[in-house]
Amino acid sequence: MAEIIDTNTDIAANLSAVNRQIADLVKRADRPAGSVTLVAVSKMHPAASAETALKAGHRVFGENRVQEAQKKWPVLREKYPDVQLHLIGPLQTNKVRDAIGLFDVIETIDRPKLARAVAAEMAQTGLKPTCFVQVNTGEEPQKAGILPAEADGFIALCRQELDLPVVGLMCIPPVGDSPALHFALLHEMAKRNGLAMLSMGMSADYDVAIGLGATHVRVGTAIFGQRPS
């Protein structure tokens, strides 16, 4: 089946609307201007869509698959060297080398085996992408992320033993749950671990996330439209 591209989506207009709304929410939450970074999630959208956002001046993007990002981003990065690329999907240990070569930020460090593989690869390559620990706040069996009860120990392992540059926490609340409880839990967990960054909030709930301290919101659909299936 041919890929259906929604040509009615005005990516530049959506992007500025989302940016405006973020600025507004930040102000209403009494937080400093610029304290929330918009990660534009371009997964499953063609490179041309990402480039429209790049042309509009946006530089921070999220992808959830290493292979897809490898096809899309090296070319775009040559044209826009100041791009900052975030991995927001699960990372297999056999893709760690590729991921470290491509991403500036890995948001999905979630288990000791992966943390050790990332640390080993960093030592070998000298590349040090910034890391977030993903927490499975809803304790969903099928979902990636360290369980809340194991999070403090895992964060300590990452930072103290493995010397990973962990700056914050990331979560994806369960579908159908009220996200606020999950965002509040993540905030609390970051605070007690002395971590400054919180990646939480997507198209449907980034307003709630900003009110609860998100420093990074990951927004796809509200910018690029429905993802082609």
Q: Applying CB under 6 A, which residues contact ligand PLP?
A: 41, 43, 64, 88-89, 172, 202-204, 218-222
DSSP character at residue 173:
P
The answer to whether the beta carbons of residues 119 and 163 sit under 8 Å apart is yes
The burial of 74, by beta-carbon neighbours within 10 Å (0-12 exposed, 13-18 middle, 19 or more buried), is given as exposed
The answer to whether the beta carbons of residues 206 and 172 sit under 8 Å apart is no
In whole angstroms, how close is the CB of 199 to ligand PLP at the nearest point?
8
In whole angstroms, how close is the CB of 9 to ligand PLP at the nearest point?
12
- φ/ψ of 33, rounded to 5, equals -55, 140
C-alpha distance across the termini of the chain, in Å: 10
In whole angstroms, how close is the CB of 152 to ligand PLP at the nearest point?
23
Q: Which is nearer to ligand PLP, 87 or 155 (CB)?
A: 87
Point out which residues pair with 132 in neighbouring strands: 168
Q: Which is nearer to ligand PLP, 45 or 162 (CB)?
A: 45
Q: Which is nearer to ligand PLP, 159 or 218 (CB)?
A: 218
Residue with smallest beta-carbon separation from ligand PLP? 220
Q: Which is nearer to ligand PLP, 21 or 203 (CB)?
A: 203
Q: Which is nearer to ligand PLP, 132 or 154 (CB)?
A: 132
In whole angstroms, how close is the CB of 70 to ligand PLP at the nearest point?
17
Q: Which two tokens stand for residue 17?
A: 């609307």
Q: List, in order, residues 6 or more apart from 130 with CB less than 8 Å away.
A: 104, 105, 106, 165, 167
In whole angstroms, how close is the CB of 206 to ligand PLP at the nearest point?
8
- φ/ψ of 40, rounded to 5, equals -80, 115
